[in-house]
Amino acid sequence: MVAKIYPVLTDSQLRNLPSTAEAKVYSRLRDDLSDDFLIIHGKSYVATRKDGGHGDGEADFVIFCAGHGLLTVEVKGGGVAYCPETGWASVDRFGNSHEIKDPVAQARNQKYAFLNQLKMHREWNALRRRIALGHAVLLPDVDRVEEIAMLECPNAIVGGSRALRDVTNWLNEVYDYWEGDDCSPLGADGLRVIERVLCHTIHVRPLLRDILEDDNAVRLRLTAEQASVLRTLGRRKRAAIVGAAGTGKTVLALEKARMLANAGAKVLLLCYNKPLAAVLSRQFDPAGKVFACTFHQFCQHCCRRCVEMGRTDPMARAQAEVPDDDYFDIQLPLAAFYAIDDLGDELRFDAIVIDEGQDFGEEFWLPVEMAMKSSADSSMYVFYDENQRLYSRVSSFPIPESESYPLTKNCRNSKPVHDLAYRYYEGALADDSGIAGVDPMPLAAPHLRGQAKKIAQKATELIHDEGVPPSEIAVLVAGKPKEQYYDLLRSETLPRPARWSREEHFQERSILIDTVRRFKGLERDVIFLWLDDQSVAEVAIMYVGVSRAKSVLYLVADSDSLEQLQLASRTV
């Protein structure tokens, strides 16, 4: 077998080397030496100077032999000359001299620099092996080198064109010159250690934390660009803004509510999910002009205010009229309608902004319309995504179809997450964000306990090794009953001070555990989507769950369930 040589250069690359002499030596070493040798060409290093500072260096060839030790070889092309007064010079074909560095001193310094590098590695020190250290000069264009002999450069460590023709024998002779009685052969195991220490592949990437920060900077820019749709609304009093997951609907709803309030309007900001409402309400001063809550929280507020004002209980009236109908879908909206009708402007608004409009039932719009101060002058803006409808309702917005405006850019999800989420989307696709991201990664285990353990292990790695804040990680449960999943996960430990948070969205240093349904409208940098054999086939659950991940998505289930997803990436 042939020797290993680093770096591996093609014939074309050799022809382009600045030094034809080095190219000639490289070819001979590569072709003639056996696998007892390891050769490194053009190896740069930093060495300590005598004055305590550091200097750069580069070795033409560093050669390790299993039967011997370390040898540094300095190569000089053309002829050479030496004068005690002026030092070393190269001689070109025309007889002209050019001053050069002392090749013997270069080779000598290099061997100690490389030995010091090796001593910095535990694996090398564990060998406890004293090897021969040597240096030599090779002049591949010179036939007679005997005349070069001097105290600092004996003939035994100088080679010419004849040495190159039998390079194995010449190297062995040089090694023999440097070896003493107390030297041990490097050995095959030593050669492997050298290769791992000096020739290993280095792959350094930024922490995931820093990648996520860069991704979020891109998202801010994309969302700002998407906000141009608000300008297209102009003076329109009613508009429906439709967009797929990740197109920035919630951010734009917040911005629209803020713009209206800054213009002096009293604004009602509604959504369907409680967790989303909690996030929305935290964006505004409780005593300000924006009242943010869920639709049902608003209905309950209306009924409560009516009773506090000494009026007839609107809920009692609604339940008397429709006693057999659903409380949340029929009775509560009807009661809110009566309360608003009774109290008038106290419960009415100049503008109403609705996020998650696709989850509003037909009966919801009756109290919403009643809450507008003026059907002619008040404004209503509905942000919605038909594909995120999880609650099996049929709803027609009180907005003409001609006043519908599309959002066409995914501002949230990295491209791999976008591509997976849009497998479950029907309709006009949004353009991806262009954020590179990573492929969704499956975490497979046959049972729930094993799946919980894998989530905890990966979350620990993200926090401890990648610097990801726990608050940017969420575990979304699609399986039922949710308590079983919650309890298994909370029995797993996390690196302190991180902890699990059960459906509490604002706990510091906590990884949130919640359900896909409750988390709709929200997002995290890293999502663990915990699936079962049924949820992987539910289009709406998969669409919503996958699209909650901004940059990193783990899909957790048993192997059979994950196979249904046909993921390209490997199971981790």
Instruction: Determine the 3-state secondary structure of 234 from DSSP.
Output: coil
Asked, for residue 40, whether it belongs to a domain, the answer is yes
Q: Are residues 276 and 335 in the same domain?
A: yes
Q: What is the pLDDT of residues 291-347, one digit of tens each?
A: 999 999 999 999 999 999 999 999 999 999 999 999 999 999 999 999 999 999 999
Asked, for residue 211, whether it belongs to a domain, the answer is no
Asked, for residue 354, whether it belongs to a domain, the answer is yes
Residue 390 has pLDDT above 60, yes or no: no
Query: Is 117 or 372 the better-scoring residue by pLDDT?
Result: 372
Residue 235 has pLDDT above 90, yes or no: no
Asked, for residue 77, whether it belongs to a domain, the answer is yes
Q: Are residues 447 and 522 in the same domain?
A: yes
Q: How far apart are CA 357 and CA 391, in angstroms?
A: 12
Q: Are residues 403 and 445 in the same domain?
A: no
Asked, for residue 428, whether it belongs to a domain, the answer is no
**Which pairing describes strands 97-99 and 87-91: parallel, antiparallel, or unpaired?**
antiparallel
Per-residue pLDDT at 572: 44
Q: Are residues 331 and 468 in the same domain?
A: no
Residue 257 has pLDDT above 70, yes or no: yes
> What's the mean pLDDT in 251-273?
95
Range of the domain at 253: 236-408
Q: Are residues 401 and 490 in the same domain?
A: no
- For residue 413, what are the contacts with CB-CB under 8 A and spacing of at least 6? 245, 246, 421, 432, 433, 435, 437, 547, 549, 550
Q: Are residues 149 and 74 in the same domain?
A: yes
Q: Are residues 8 and 157 in the same domain?
A: yes
Q: What is the pLDDT of residues 491-539, one digit of tens each?
A: 999 998 999 999 999 899 999 999 999 999 999 999 999 999 999 999 9
CATH code of the domain in which 519 resides:
3.40.50.300
What average pLDDT does the chain have?
89
Q: How far apart are CA 140 and CA 81, in angstroms?
A: 15
Q: How many domains does the chain contain in total?
A: 3
Q: Are residues 240 and 126 in the same domain?
A: no
Give the domain-ending residue among 198, 228, 263: 198
Asked, for residue 435, whether it belongs to a domain, the answer is no
pLDDT band for position 404 (50/70/90)? confident
Sheet containing 441-444, strands listed edge to edge, beginning at the edge strand earlier in sequence: 441-444, 549-557, 524-530, 473-477, 510-515, 499-502
Q: Are residues 265 and 349 in the same domain?
A: yes
Q: What is the pLDDT of residues 58-97, one digit of tens each?
A: 889 999 999 999 999 999 988 877 777 777 787 777 777 7
Asked, for residue 216, whether it belongs to a domain, the answer is no
Q: Are residues 373 and 505 in the same domain?
A: no
Residue 461 has pLDDT above 90, yes or no: yes
